[in-house]
Homo-oligomer: A and B are copies of this chain.
């Protein structure tokens, strides 16, 4: 009886029985043992999404880079550092019903990264050669086990909706959640977010909302799409 009560509780939400993958946070790409290239991302929006999906009853797999916001309770946490590690963790999590790629993945890694610290030599500066990281969103969209619903994020500093609309088609995903992360907006590291939801039907402009509320709205839409 206790067990069935717990089971009932767990199956109460509209997403019970659904398995959802959420990526979050930045990736770190090593230059040498003490230096790395990173993306600005607190992981706050990804963590809020995981909470909202969990609260609707979904089983959440949370693949996170080194974020400043801790991962929520009640989700399966997989910690990674680089983009290649994130891709491996994402592929290992398939199949899922929906995948939401909220992480700020580095587009490039350092090709000539070193296992010893680069020493400073007078009058010379090392040059960093970059090579392209795997495209996790595009890879999952073209995957034999492609989830029914694939959602990408687009952080832009100019022409937000046109860039995000083009990204949706280029990647082959269902929706793009786009936002303007220009320094002046204060979105990076802030608690609010102003997003545009790009779907096949076009662009919806959402009002400025707390990240938790953006997450709840998006989770409700995901539940609807998977119902």
Contact = CB atoms under 8 A, between A and B. Distances in A.
Interface of A: 28, 31, 33-40, 68, 104, 106-108, 115-120, 125-132, 155-158, 163, 181-183, 188
Tell me the number of copies of this protein: 2
A31 B68 CA distance: 20
Contact of A157 (B36, B37, B116, B163): B116
A37 B37 contact: yes
A39 to B, nearest CB: 6
Contacts of A38: 28, 35-38
Contacts of A120: 107, 132
Contact of A158 (B107, B116, B181): B116
Contacts of A104: 34
Contact of A127 (B40, B107, B127): B127
Contact of A35 (B37, B117, B125, B163): B37
B39 A155 contact: no
Contacts of A125: 108, 129-132
Contacts of A156: 117
A119 B107 CA distance: 9
